[in-house]
């Protein structure tokens, strides 16, 4: 039977505002399937976002949602989680929101290892504000503010998250739609700060400037560059040139922030 | 009658469709086509119920009802 996505969407909110062919809708479907897999109750799930195209996602979801200041999703979500540690807190945002404007909050949320899941939809650009380059825009690619090519090297969001101390880091793509829900479900189940980077397409502000003729061409590019992490083990360095690893790339156990904070309260003689 | 292939019902919510061509291109049997700016069913008999269109549609515009 057809999948029932509507039960997790606020009535009357569709159609969404995303452009034709934007992969954010595919990621939203993946998130809904992951929430169904884990049977998350809408009263016990909070989706927090900053500002941007991807950050519009909580507006459509029928659960506890918070649409906050640009880049500050992690800061607000930390507050939600500390006040209500039993809540499942999911953050969504784009590459610009998460790693440039919210870069500071992002790395410190990783460092604290607070039990939240951050879904970063990386479409390589600031879409909503008119296609300015972001820290994830690849070197040489064009954006509205770099019409002759971007001179900066791009962030590898996965390595950034691992370096900052996130305990679960995974990467998927909008092309591999049936993998998204599994990665997100595993990330939500992990106790600690989980980062799921989903490579996405922005046909309107990124694709047009970088000579992608269609949405389908952008999707096929994601198919061509993605290599599952298990398949990559058998490949040589030359074969992996220009490829992007997908799957669960990092998973370790470390004390979680809310638990540690509860111990601090106990040591200080609180809750009496 | 029972020998015959049971056809699915492909529901297209036209007001959600933005005409991005993802479903048309990723359908392995080329069941769908674009009519103007909205997708429509061209050849329902070829449908193998793989649900790729429903999975990939970013706009929640396609539902494949199959048993």
Kindly report, residue by residue over A192-207, the tens digit of the pLDDT.
999 999 999 999 999 9
SS3 A104: helix
Give me the residue spans of the domains in chain A.
5-230+237-268
At residue A23, the pLDDT reads 93
| CB of A41 closer than 8 Å to CB of A7 | no
Give the ranges where A142-256 is alpha helix by DSSP (H). Answer: 157-164, 177-189, 215-225, 229-232
Partners of residue A9 in chain B, C-beta under 8 Å: 60
Place of tokens 């970063």: A120
CATH tag, A5-230+237-268: 3.40.50.970
CB contact under 8 A, A24 and B58: yes
Judging contacts by C-beta atoms under 8 Å, the chain B residues touching residue A219 are 22, 26
10 Å CB burial of residue A119 (0-12, 13-18, 19+) is buried
| Integer Rg of chain B from CA | 12
pLDDT above 90 for A270:
no
What is the percent of chain A with per-residue pLDDT over 90, rounded to a whole number?
Answer: 92
Q: Are A116 and A77 in contact (CB under 8 A)?
A: yes
Is the pLDDT at B1 greater than 70? The verdict is: no
Cα nearest neighbour of B26 on chain A: A216
- ipTM rounded to 2 decimals: 0.91
Q: What is the DSSP letter of B20?
A: -
Whether residue A15 has a cis bond before it, omega within 30° of 0: yes
Q: Supply the pLDDT for residue B6.
A: 82
A-B contacts (CB, under 8 Å): 62
pLDDT band at B3 (very low <50, low <70, confident <90, very high): low
Residue with tokens 């305990």: A167
Output the six-digit token pair for A251: 């998973």
Of residues A92 and B4, which shows the higher confidence score? A92
Answer for the pair B22, B57: CB distance below 8 angstroms, yes or no.
yes
**Confidence band for B2, pLDDT divided at 50, 70 and 90:** low
Q: What is the pLDDT of residues A18-35, one digit of tens each?
A: 999 999 999 999 999 999
Evaluate if residue A60 carries a pLDDT over 70: yes
Q: Can you tell me the mean pLDDT for A133-143?
A: 94
Find the helix or strand (DSSP H, E) in which B55 lies.
helix B52-56
pLDDT at B67: 76
Average of per-residue pLDDT across A116-144: 94
Of B25, B58, B63, the CB nearest to A25: B58
Q: Is residue B4 pLDDT above 80, yes or no?
A: no
- Report the C-alpha gap between A57 and A166 in whole angstroms: 23
User: Would you place residue B15 in the very low, low, confident or very high pLDDT band (cuts 50, 70, 90)?
Assistant: very high
CB pair distance less than 8 Å for A22 and B58: yes
Alpha-carbon span A96 to A129, nearest angstrom? 11
pLDDT at A272 (0 to 100): 66
CA angle at residue B52 from B50 to B56, to 5 degrees?
Answer: 165
pLDDT digits over A149-189, tens only?
999 999 999 999 999 999 999 999 999 999 999 999 999 99
Over residues A205-213, the mean pLDDT reads 92
Contacts of A107 (CB under 8 A, 6+ apart): A160, A164
pLDDT given for residue A2 in this prediction: 87
Write out the two tokens for A122.
């990386």
**Contacts B55 to A, Cβ<8 Å:** 29, 177-178
Of B15, B22, B60, the CB nearest to A216: B22
How would residue B41 be classed by pLDDT, with cut points 50, 70 and 90? very high
- Tell me the β-bridge partners of A226: A244
């Amino acid at each position: 039977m057809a999948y029932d996505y509507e039960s997790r969407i606020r009535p009357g909110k569709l159609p969404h505002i995303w452009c034709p062919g934007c992969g954010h809708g595919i990621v939203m479907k993946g998130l809904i399937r992951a929430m169904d897999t884990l049977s998350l109750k809408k009263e016990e799930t909070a989706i927090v976002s900053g500002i941007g195209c991807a950050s519009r996602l909580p507006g459509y979801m029928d659960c506890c949602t918070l649409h906050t200041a640009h880049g500050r999703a992690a800061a607000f979500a930390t507050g939600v989680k500390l006040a209500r540690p039993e809540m499942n807190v999911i953050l969504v945002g784009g590459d610009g929101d998460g790693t440039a404007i919210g870069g500071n909050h992002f790395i410190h949320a990783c460092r604290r290892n607070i039990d939240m899941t951050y879904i970063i939809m990386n479409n390589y650009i600031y879409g909503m504000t008119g296609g300015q380059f972001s820290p994830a825009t690849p070197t040489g690619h064009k954006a509205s503010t770099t019409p002759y090519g971007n001179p900066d090297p791009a962030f590898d969001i996965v390595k950034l998250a691992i370096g900052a101390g996130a305990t679960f880091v995974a990467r998927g793509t909008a092309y591999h739609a049936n993998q998204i829900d599994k990665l997100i479900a595993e990330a939500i189940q992990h106790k600690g700060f989980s980062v799921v980077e989903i490579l996405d397409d922005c046909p309107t502000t990124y694709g047009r400037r970088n000579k992608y003729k269609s949405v389908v061409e952008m999707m096929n590019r994601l198919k061509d560059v993605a290599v599952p992490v298990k398949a990559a083990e058998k490949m040589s360095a030359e074969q992996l040139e220009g490829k992007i690893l997908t799957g669960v790339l990092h998973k370790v156990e470390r004390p979680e922030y809310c638990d540690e904070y509860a111990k601090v309260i106990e040591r200080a003689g609180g809750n009496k | 009658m029972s020998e015959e292939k049971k056809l699915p019902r492909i529901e297209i919510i036209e007001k959600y469709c933005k005409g991005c061509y993802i479903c048309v291109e990723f359908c392995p049997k080329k069941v769908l086509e674009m009519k103007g700016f909205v997708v429509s069913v061209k050849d329902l008999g070829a449908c193998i119920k793989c649900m790729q269109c429903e999975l990939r549609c970013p706009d929640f515009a396609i539902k494949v009802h199959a048993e």
